[in-house]
Amino acid sequence: MKYLIKYNRFLVLFTPISILGLFELFLIQPKILYYSIIIANLLVFFTIKQFKKSSAENKEWINFIILPICFLTSLGFYSTLIANNIFIQILFFANIFFIYFYLRNIYFYLVQPESYKTYALENISSYGNFLVIFFASSAIYGMQAFLNISVWILILIILPLIALVIYQIIWANKINIKDGFVYIFLGCLILIEIAWAITFLPLAYNIAGLVLAICYYILIGLIRFYLKKNLNKQTIKLYLFFGFSSILIILLTAKWV
């Protein structure tokens, strides 16, 4: 038993460091991008699966892999658009810190639930999925600008990602999936329409991605509070004020291309 505990703790540290190495390799040799992302995702998959094997909790462990896999994949493709090596390194190190803290919380949640901090998974899911939407949508808008790909193809690419992100948030907040299924569909529909509308604006891909991410944050916040029976006028005003004021500031100060 002690051996398994040490092994699981070792994985919490080993997996993020290995992922950093894989990302640094594709930075040196861009041709191995897909292999690096696939291997990184497999490392996360087997790490979380190992935690489940050591757990007495009867949880659907497969849901734990959604966020890190979406995060790694979206950040990997987003980094291909960045020309500044220093900024890329900042992204890569931010990535390993995120994966480390996520795996650490999953380890406590599954293996040592007595040490798990309440709402830790909910909080990291909230911030992590916001970044997923930003990285993924920025990468897609960037590919549209650089490769002149049809907007409909890009929309079809981001649709399943949005569905997974909304599903993960609902699951992480312990909301019954049957109750949230309709809102997953509505959330996807609304965000896809916003994503499509943004393509008509002459915005830099980073700004376009940030605008969509803020729209996601407003929408998922309202859905989450509604499904948890905590939605009130003050919450609605807070989300709408924060969201629309942020978008307004971004649009007024952004570089239009």
Report d(CA 254, CA 257) in Å as an integer: 9
Report d(CA 123, CA 112) in Å as an integer: 19
CB 81 within 8 A of CB 138: yes
Other Cβ atoms less than 10 A from the Cβ of 156: the count is 11
Q: What is the reported pLDDT for 122?
A: 87
Q: What is the reported pLDDT for 5?
A: 57
pTM: 0.91
Beta partners for residue 203, in sequence order: 256
Longest dimension (CA), the chain: 59
Separation of CA 25 from chain center? 22
The token duo for 211 is 């605008």
Angle at alpha carbon of residue 72, lines to 198 and 166, rounded to 5°:
55
Separation of CA 162 from chain center? 9
CB 17 within 8 A of CB 108: no
Q: Which residues of the chain have pLDDT under 50?
A: none
**68: which residues sit within 8 A by CB, 6+ positions away?**
41, 44, 48, 99, 102, 103
pLDDT tens sequence across 149-187: 777 787 888 899 999 999 999 998 888 888 888 999 999
Report d(CA 6, CA 211) in Å as an integer: 43
Q: What is the reported pLDDT for 22?
A: 93
**Distance from the first to the final alpha carbon of the chain:** 59
CA proximity to 23, closest of 40, 8, 6 = 40
pLDDT tens sequence across 42-62: 999 999 998 888 776 666 778
Q: What is the reported pLDDT for 15?
A: 94
**4: which residues sit within 8 A by CB, 6+ positions away?**
54
Report d(CA 27, CA 222) in Å as an integer: 39
